A and B are shown apart, each in its own frame.
Chain A
Amino acid sequence: MNLQNLSIKRKLMLITMLTSSVALVLSSVSFLIYDLMSFRRQLSQDLMTQAEIIGFNSGAAMAFKDEAAATATLSALKAKDDIVAAALYSPEGKMFAHYFQADKTLPSSLDAGSQQSGYRFEGGYLRVLQQVKMNGERVGTLYLLSDMRQWNLRAKRYTSIIVIVVLICGSLALLLSSRLQKLISKPILHLEDTMRMVSSNKNYEIRATRFYGDEIGRLIDGFNTMLSEIQLRDTALQRANNELQTSTHELEVEIIHRKRTQDELLTAKQAAEQANRAKSAFLANMSHELRTPLNAIIGYSEMLEEEVQDIGKISNVRDLQKIQAAGKHLLALINDVLDLSKIEAGKMQLHIEMFDIASMIEEMVTTLKPAIAKNANAFQLHVPENLGTMRGDVTKVRQILLNLLSNACKFTDHGTVSLDVDRMTTAGQEWIQFRVSDTGIGISTEQQENLFQEFTQADISISRKYGGTGLGLAISHRFVQLMKGRIMVESTPGQGAVFTVHLPVQAAAEQPESSRSGQTVSSEAAPQVTANADTILVIDDDLAVRDLMSRSLTKMGFRVVAAAGGEEGLRLAKQLRPLVITLDVIMPDWDGWTVLNKLKADSDLAEIPVIMVTIVDNEAMGRDLGASSYLIKPVDRERLVALIEKHRAARFSTVAKTGVPPANWSSRSQRSSRKPEVVGPRRH
């Protein structure tokens, strides 16, 4: 375990030392053993030769039984240190002569069996027996005993030599290995140093030096390659990091720049909004300013026309009708431009309510009659009996249909204009389909492409010939889009055109609060029985309006009471309990909204239907506050009358149930001659 943790230097030295020492010791020992073995054999051979010589020399002495001579012969062995004892035995086995060195003795007799020639190593001694012969006849036996002194000496000397050699070789090996191990350990130690430096300094530019082309050299090459790779990646990483920092910085700068731009944009937007508000206010003002005189022009021309007709000056009637038509055209233009600007500003809102489709169409067709009659067209209306109701913006639906139908009438001469209404279901949704078809001039394919674009008529010449702003279809298109519906056109030039509008039966309720207006509308059918069944209260600060309203409504058989301000209007309402109240918004003392609020807050008056008649285009506000209808000045007289008639009919049905007799229609014509003195003093 400790051995395994030794440094590579020590290990190498240890391995070298161990290997060389083991090899040296093994070879030396085997050499020693071999040498000693062969030496022993040689020794025994020598001793045998010696024994032969002595045997020969002592042969005669033995033969002549000359003990002294035999002893003398044996005494010659004194020169041989290693022979410690020698003896001659007679053939009978009795000791005949002997030579003993020091205290070593030999047996006094030998067995007959142990008298054969030979040698034997025994207890560190070499024993040799040699038969002594004379002329081939055995005359005795020689016994020699050697203590193998040379052998022992040799063994000792060789052992010491080997020890010395091993020691010398060991130290040489140590010296050599301590120098040669550097061949291996030096590059490894260097590599280790380099690695430590790299890992502690994180400096990947350092390279290990390659010393030799061996495996360690290749290892170092590999290590260097790896370092280069790491360095490359490190550099790349660093660069990427720097780039990231740079781009982050750039991004920050960009963000600051954008923020500044955003601030500027915000400021610009605010300025733009400010400007837009100013524009809207200007437009509102302008429309007010434009409509007010237009109101007067149309209203008085209508009245004049009637009066002139009564007198019988037919030539003047035509002129008055032209003034009237021009005024209405101008009004339509102004309305269209206003609508469009609203759409553009995204301020056009839907006023969703439940309404009966058939009655809506009926009412609309009434309005359309003059247009149909104008070009001597026939009108066909196909409405299924059980068409039912739909939820949507009734005003806009009406406007779309009016637009399409008036266009159809305009471009058809002595032809047929028809409106087909139907219920249909596609893609799991219920739709109402309005189909307006005519037999007029039709629209070419190229014209169809731009048909729904603003300010685009099929042909410039058309606007001269047929009039119109070219905004009608664009506005209709926008309205249909707002209601999540579709509008399509099919046409063959010269054969007529078919416009198809699909509107969902259940429009998405953008303004659920508008349902209040529905309630108001439905609950308007229960006014006080005691109210004046044919009295209309007109609240307007404009004398011209009061005058026109009084005149036209009186003509229709209503009693008109006019008030010039809100306060007076309220008082009159309490006093008279009229059938319907028409209410202007912009008035000097109380504005129309205040008056409406007060009317609805009074439980006695809340039931009286209020028709807003104003130039302020905020139908939503009016409906919210409880107005039952909303008309924009200049008032379409026919529509106003239709509305009032509707309310009277509702009142009539209620009254009929309660047994109160309805107002006498004939009495209205009697009252129609009345001057509008009821109209209050003009404030302007």
Chain B
Amino acid sequence: MRYLRLTIAALLCMSLASGGANAQSADSSESSEYLIKAGFIYNFAQLVQWPPAAFVQPDSPIVIGILGVDPFGELIDRVVQNKKLDGRSLIVKRLKRGASLKECSILFVSSSEAAHLEEVLQSTKGLPILTIGEIPGFAVRGGIINLTLEGNRVRFEVNIEAAKQANLNISSRLLALARIVPQSADGKRSE
């Protein structure tokens, strides 16, 4: 509740400050959608277990990488600010294409990277990185979780196979809420 108020307050500040730099992002419903999505990302972090080798130290932070154009803005920072999961803090890093993804635990692939999806997914292959996208067919093409919209409600798809390949353990509670999609060879072929 507290966070919700904060995010709403932050949203108002942002829209006033930026003055509609991004028309889509400046829209209040747009902001509400990403606020929810930021929450979802945080929720996913709670329901996914990383292998111990994924972190250098027990208290190494969980790094959330945002690849491509950032749709959240400040929202996600505020959501994860001061939060800890199993003694780890959460850090948001914004990345450009070609940057090293190794230090990321969660990688949000922005829809701006849809064209280079194969490349991105290839680079994370075999790494314990929870890949989250909002691109249609993201999960089918090898991403782990894909956020979708059903009406104005945010839902998500999970590629269990991809999660297995990334050596990630997704909670059944999360799976119970997700739409499970299979791994298809089409993505590779289309590449």
User: Which residues of A pack against B, CB within 8 Å?
Assistant: 57, 59-61, 63-66, 69, 91-92, 134-135
Contacts and interface: CB of A to CB of B under 8 A. Distances in A.
Nearest to A90: B1
A516 to B, nearest CB: 169
A134 B46 contact: yes
B1 A64 contact: no
Nearest to B175: A60
Contact of B46 (A61, A65, A92, A135): A135
B188 interface: no
A61 B47 CA distance: 12
Interface string B1-20: 10000000000000000000
B69 interface: no
A116 to B, nearest CB: 15
Given A60-B173, A64-B156, A91-B1, 10 more contacts: A57-B173, A60-B176, A61-B177, A63-B46, A64-B40, A64-B43, A64-B177, A65-B153, A69-B176, A92-B1
Q: Which of B156, B174, B176 has the most CB of A within 10 A?
A: B176
List of 6 A-B pairs having minimum Cβ-Cβ separation, nearest first: A60-B173, A91-B1, A66-B177, A63-B43, A135-B46, A64-B177
Contacts of B43: 60, 63-64, 134
7 contacts: A60-B43, A60-B171, A61-B177, A65-B153, A65-B154, A92-B1, A135-B85
Interface of B: 1, 36, 39-40, 43, 46-47, 85, 153-154, 156, 171, 173-174, 176-177
Contacts of A135: 46, 85
Given A64-B40, A134-B43, A135-B85, A59 B173 contact: yes
Contacts, number: 30
B140 to A, nearest CB: 21
Contacts of A64: 40, 43, 156, 177
Residue among A57, A61, A64, A135 having the largest count of chain B Cβ atoms under 10 Å: A64
Contacts of B1: 91-92
Contacts of A57: 173
Contacts of B156: 64
B177 to A, nearest CB: 5
A135 to B, nearest CB: 5
Nearest to A73: B176
B39, B47, B154, B156 interface centre (most CB from chain A within 10 Å): B47
Contacts of B47: 60
A65 B43 CA distance: 11
A357 B74 CA distance: 190
A134 B39 CA distance: 13
A59 B47 CA distance: 11
Contacts of B176: 60-61, 69
Nearest to A92: B1
B6 to A, nearest CB: 14
A60 B177 contact: yes
Contacts of B36: 65
A77 to B, nearest CB: 17
Contacts of B39: 63
A178 B66 CA distance: 95
Contacts of A66: 177
A66 B36 CA distance: 12
B85 A60 contact: no
B185 to A, nearest CB: 30
A69 B177 contact: yes
A92 B5 CA distance: 11
Nearest to A57: B173
Nearest to A61: B177
